Chain A
Amino acid sequence: MKLWHFNGGLPSLAEHKNESVNLPIEIAPVPTRLIYPLRQHIGNAAKPLVKVGDKVLCGQKIADAQGMISAPIHAGSSGTVISIADHLIPHPSGFSAPSITIETDGLDNEIELTPHTSFRQLAAGELVDLIREAGIVGLGGAAFPTAIKLNTQGKTIQIDTLILNGAECEPYISCDDRLLKERANRVVEGIEILLYMTGAKRAILAIEDNVPDTFTSIQAAIANNQNPIISAVQIPTIYPTGGEKQLIQTLTGKEVPSGKIPADIGIVSINVGTVHAIQQAIIKGKPLTSRVVTITGEGVNKPHNLEVRTGTPIKALIDVCHGYTKHAERLIMGGPMMGFALLNDEIPIVKATNCILVASKQEVVTEKQAMPCIRCGLCASVCPVSLLPQQLYWFSRSEQLEKAEKLNLFDCIECGCCDVACPSHIPLVQHFRYAKSALKVQNHEKHLSNVARERFEAREERIARDKAERAERSRKKKAALKSKPAKEEIDAAVNRSKAKKNSTEGED
């Protein structure tokens, strides 16, 4: 299959898979507590369906989606709801947010599941509903509700290509790789479901070429399945080839237009972990309550790939990995390029968590001494979106945010390539994040002030109009008065009062 390539990227990040890539997936034990932040993705937070003190079963829906971009949450084990209150959430801000905490009873009693082994008997719309009800979101990291991606109703553009993203391009992470190695058949069945739902003409499963044995196992599963429109392809290991836009470019040569989504060019791209979750939700009827997480880094004694119930506090998983080593320096959720550092290990695993990296001092940079930009352009040469990071940096730093916006700041995917390439060690991505949020605030304020101005102008106009109308009315009145001679008016009035007087006298 012909492959294209995207601009820049970092081929040198292909290391640090060995720590965990050969470790089979193990099932993590049920923790004593499960914590479910109600907001696990962009869009609306879920709305609790349980009260403190309620008994819940494994797989029971404990919070429901609110609105379109939202997903329900299901309990990962049986137990009692002990609190619905603020808890530290996995977020770069270190904030707390409303979460449901369940104390598990160790019985792990499950609700009754409704499997749909012959999914072809259901309509695509029904399958979309099942996926939405199962609380499935993108497990690659963005956690966007999957049902929205798969809802083809009312769409004019026919989906042509289904891309299955198995390109785990960040260092250290191996959860998707293990899933493809060990559960290839389920993933392939999941692909069949997705092909049926979207009506796509082909499905391409992409894997990086640094994991050849995974490619072999997935190819065997595809061969067994005997559907010629499903294929697996090895792509060059260049970070961030697993980024949705970069993967689409690599596989199809097409670019997703700025501000649009892949479906607008006939492509749906889904992470392989999500495909597995979809297969489980349809065939077994299991809602999304667990996922594979890589726990790795020099900061833990024994790295693991674990199937973890979402909601499990990180601490419980560290115990499975035989605890921290004395080198543990940073607790990172996600990979070292796009992940974020956590304040403590009470924070739970959420649906989007693919990796917990407990990094040592040698593995992470904790402090960088930034030098002035020397305009070398290395940042631009590695940017997978072909931006000019140095210009963006210049404008972000000098608060000329409109200029940064004009240079397409919002197309930045925050992959961190420029940061790693910069010889002056400037924290470019941080500057861009700041500039983006400042611009959003600015644009929002502009919007508010526009609304206020429009309202004010409308009010002024209305007042002016009323005034004009009043003036017009009184002018008409006056004109009418003038047109009738005053004498007549007075005579008429006199006659009226006389008539009235006569009639009242007659009554007496």
Chain B
Amino acid sequence: MHFLTSNAPFIEPQNSIQKMMLWVLIALVPGIITMIWQFGFGILANIIICVSTALIAEAAMLHLRGRPIRPFLSDLSAVVTAVLLALALPTIAPWWIPFIGAFIAIVIAKHLYGGLGYNPFNPAMIAFAILMVSFPKSMTVWMLPYSMLPAESSFSDLLPIILDQQPKQAVVDAMTAATPLDEMKTQLSLNQTIDEIRSLSIFGSLSGQGWQWVSIAYLLGGIILMFKKVISWHIPVGLLTGLFTISFAFYLFEPSVTPSPLFHLLSGGAMLGAFFIATDPVTAAATLKGRFIYGVLIGLLTYVIRTWGGYPEGIAFAVILINMTVPLIDHYTPPRVYGHK
């Protein structure tokens, strides 16, 4: 009897890109729910606009590049990029912000570099950085958490902003604010002490009101990812260690005018960045040792940008800049091979 042949191993692959991406999305659910709980349904608008734009852009680019559409569209990598971008945007951004952002992420940052697996920079962070630089006004107005909204007001009062119409300025003033990191930076530049700043209403016991819980939810999601072995501990632990160490060093030095390490860890995109963004395998270092170094460098650079840079938050820029060092890191951190010294 005759048989067809093929090559070993014959065992079914244990994993797929789709499965990994699905786990990333599942691990983001606690964060998304907390966002909705604290900041209303604006985040869902962001997610819907980003994901649909990303999928259409992905399909169009695959078609233009003559690649098979189905396997690449169903790998969910475009969805993950879109959701991560959506989570980084203000929940009350005008609709064209997520639209442009998702377009930049997929078309420019991903496909113009060669598509899945070939982009040197994190697509979501490239989109975020371009939006931040191009539309600073829309990118820095954040809704206050629900607990701090004035009585008788609701999320629907802010809908006009998302629809790009002019809402009443009074409503906007009453319901929005800068992010805690932004506020911290502004107040520090006005020579306020940490104690004075932390007594402002937008700050909570850990970091910002509302924000602290979102960060903790991302941490939870990150732990799920590590548990499911979708990511290794090296990048998140490296990033958080880097951020903690440098902020702790400066905090010891001048605690009255330096935010605490805990504030840094639970503010802005630190947790989202550590577990979901810096861990993007395509743009991160590949060796385990290299990944830890990569994480530490992002943590350090984030602090530098937050403290001395022009922007209140540094995760996006730090990730993009450290992406550039990846080939160098990989080159100098090969593991010791069995039987070699």
- Please tell me if A373 contacts chain B, counting CB pairs below 8 Å: yes
Question: Size range of the interface on A?
Answer: 35 or more
A75 to B34, CA, bound (A): 76
| A364 surroundings in chain B (CB, below 8 A) | 6, 10-11
A384-B338, A386-B335 given as contacts; is B3 within 8 A of A331 (CB)?
Answer: yes
A376-B281, A423-B19 given as contacts; is B11 within 8 A of A386 (CB)?
Answer: no
Residue of A nearest to B118 (CB): A372
A408 to B12, CA, bound (A): 27
- Please tell me if B284 contacts chain A, counting CB pairs below 8 Å: yes
| B190 surroundings in chain A (CB, below 8 A) | none
Contact residues of A between 207 and 230, Cβ < 8 Å to B: none
Query: Which of B13, B115, B284 lies in contact with A372, CB distance below 8 A?
Result: B115
| B338 surroundings in chain A (CB, below 8 A) | 6-7, 245, 249, 255, 258, 384-386, 411
Residue of B nearest to A171 (CB): B11
Residue-wise interface mask of B (4-17) relative to A, using a CB-CB cutoff of 8 A (1 in contact, 0 not): 11111111111111
| A380 surroundings in chain B (CB, below 8 A) | 286-288, 335
B227–chain A nearest beta-carbon distance, Å:
15
A341 to B7, CA, bound (A): 7
| A424 surroundings in chain B (CB, below 8 A) | 17, 117
A375-B286, A380-B288, A381-B288 given as contacts; is B4 within 8 A of A330 (CB)?
Answer: yes
- Contact (Cβ within 8 A) B4 A369: no
Q: Is the interface of A mostly helix, strand, loop or mixed?
A: loop
A283 to B17, CA, bound (A): 56
| B118 surroundings in chain A (CB, below 8 A) | 372
Query: Which of B7, B14, B232, B330 lies in contact with A381, CB distance below 8 A?
Result: B232
Query: Which of A255, A343, A430 lies in contact with B7, CB distance below 8 A?
Result: A430
- Contact (Cβ within 8 A) B3 A365: no
A232 to B286, CA, bound (A): 39
A369-B71, A371-B116, A377-B281 given as contacts; is B339 within 8 A of A341 (CB)?
Answer: no
Query: Which of A10, A371, A388, A419 lies in contact with B71, CB distance below 8 A?
Result: A371
- Contact (Cβ within 8 A) B339 A330: no
- Contact (Cβ within 8 A) B7 A374: no
- Please tell me if A420 contacts chain B, counting CB pairs below 8 Å: yes
A344 to B14, CA, bound (A): 29
Residue of A nearest to B16 (CB): A423
A334 to B2, CA, bound (A): 18
Query: Which of A366, A374, A390, A429 lies in contact with B116, CB distance below 8 A?
Result: A374
- Contact (Cβ within 8 A) B117 A341: no
- Contact (Cβ within 8 A) B3 A387: no
Contact residues of A between 425 and 460, Cβ < 8 Å to B: 425, 427, 429-430
Residue-wise interface mask of B (303-341) relative to A, using a CB-CB cutoff of 8 A (1 in contact, 0 not): 000000000000000000000000000100011111110
Query: Which of A171, A373, A377, A386 lies in contact with B337, CB distance below 8 A?
Result: A386
- Contact (Cβ within 8 A) B6 A324: no
- Contact (Cβ within 8 A) A377 B117: no
- Contact (Cβ within 8 A) A368 B10: no
- Contact (Cβ within 8 A) A423 B339: no
Residue among A359, A371, A421, A429 with most chain B CB within 10 A: A371
A143 to B9, CA, bound (A): 20
- Contact (Cβ within 8 A) B337 A420: no
| A257 surroundings in chain B (CB, below 8 A) | 339-340
- Contact (Cβ within 8 A) A368 B13: yes
- Please tell me if A336 contacts chain B, counting CB pairs below 8 Å: yes
A259 to B4, CA, bound (A): 36
B248–chain A nearest beta-carbon distance, Å:
29
A206–chain B nearest beta-carbon distance, Å:
18
Residue of B nearest to A336 (CB): B10
- Contact (Cβ within 8 A) A421 B10: no
Residue-wise interface mask of A (319-348) relative to B, using a CB-CB cutoff of 8 A (1 in contact, 0 not): 000001000111110101111111111000
Query: Which of B3, B282, B287 lies in contact with A342, CB distance below 8 A?
Result: B3
Query: Which of A10, A13, A341, A386 lies in contact with B336, CB distance below 8 A?
Result: A386
A345–chain B nearest beta-carbon distance, Å:
5
- Contact (Cβ within 8 A) A365 B8: no
- Please tell me if B64 contacts chain A, counting CB pairs below 8 Å: no
- Please tell me if A256 contacts chain B, counting CB pairs below 8 Å: yes
A423 to B14, CA, bound (A): 7
B6–chain A nearest beta-carbon distance, Å:
6
- Contact (Cβ within 8 A) A416 B6: no
| A429 surroundings in chain B (CB, below 8 A) | 7-9
- Please tell me if B75 contacts chain A, counting CB pairs below 8 Å: yes
A386 to B232, CA, bound (A): 16
A489 to B30, CA, bound (A): 116
- Please tell me if A391 contacts chain B, counting CB pairs below 8 Å: yes
- Please tell me if B100 contacts chain A, counting CB pairs below 8 Å: no
A419 to B71, CA, bound (A): 19
- Please tell me if A50 contacts chain B, counting CB pairs below 8 Å: no
- Please tell me if B1 contacts chain A, counting CB pairs below 8 Å: yes
- Please tell me if B20 contacts chain A, counting CB pairs below 8 Å: yes
Contact residues of B between 226 and 244, Cβ < 8 Å to A: 232
A365-B13, A421-B15 given as contacts; is B1 within 8 A of A324 (CB)?
Answer: yes
| B287 surroundings in chain A (CB, below 8 A) | 377, 380, 388
- Contact (Cβ within 8 A) B337 A408: yes
- Contact (Cβ within 8 A) A377 B288: yes
A421 to B113, CA, bound (A): 26
| A367 surroundings in chain B (CB, below 8 A) | 6
- Contact (Cβ within 8 A) A258 B337: yes
- Please tell me if A24 contacts chain B, counting CB pairs below 8 Å: no
- Please tell me if A422 contacts chain B, counting CB pairs below 8 Å: yes
- Contact (Cβ within 8 A) B339 A411: yes
A421 to B12, CA, bound (A): 9
Residue of B nearest to A254 (CB): B339
Residue of B nearest to A385 (CB): B338
Query: Which of A258, A332, A338 lies in contact with B339, CB distance below 8 A?
Result: A258
| B286 surroundings in chain A (CB, below 8 A) | 375, 377, 380, 388, 390-391
A343 to B287, CA, bound (A): 40
A371-B116, A374-B282, A377-B232 given as contacts; is B2 within 8 A of A344 (CB)?
Answer: yes
- Please tell me if A94 contacts chain B, counting CB pairs below 8 Å: yes
Residue of B nearest to A376 (CB): B281
Contact residues of B between 245 and 292, Cβ < 8 Å to A: 281-282, 284, 286-288, 291
| B3 surroundings in chain A (CB, below 8 A) | 328-331, 341-345
- Please tell me if A30 contacts chain B, counting CB pairs below 8 Å: no
A247–chain B nearest beta-carbon distance, Å:
12
| A331 surroundings in chain B (CB, below 8 A) | 1, 3
B176–chain A nearest beta-carbon distance, Å:
38
Residue among A249, A256, A388 with most chain B CB within 10 A: A388
| B232 surroundings in chain A (CB, below 8 A) | 377, 381
A409–chain B nearest beta-carbon distance, Å:
10
- Please tell me if A407 contacts chain B, counting CB pairs below 8 Å: yes
- Please tell me if A233 contacts chain B, counting CB pairs below 8 Å: no
A367 to B12, CA, bound (A): 10
Residue of B nearest to A379 (CB): B286
- Contact (Cβ within 8 A) B115 A338: no
- Please tell me if A504 contacts chain B, counting CB pairs below 8 Å: no
- Contact (Cβ within 8 A) A416 B4: no
Query: Which of B9, B19, B20, B77 lies in contact with A420, CB distance below 8 A?
Result: B9
In addition to A344-B3, A377-B286, A390-B286, 18 A-B residue pairs with Cβ atoms within 8 Å of each other are A7-B335, A259-B339, A328-B1, A337-B8, A341-B10, A371-B17, A371-B116, A371-B117, A372-B116, A374-B77, A378-B15, A380-B288, A381-B232, A381-B288, A385-B337, A385-B338, A391-B286, A423-B20
Identify the 3 closest CB pairs spanning chains A and B, nearest first.
A372-B117, A416-B9, A341-B5
A-B contact pairs, 9 of them (CB 8 A): A245-B338, A258-B338, A329-B4, A343-B5, A366-B6, A374-B17, A386-B336, A391-B330, A423-B15
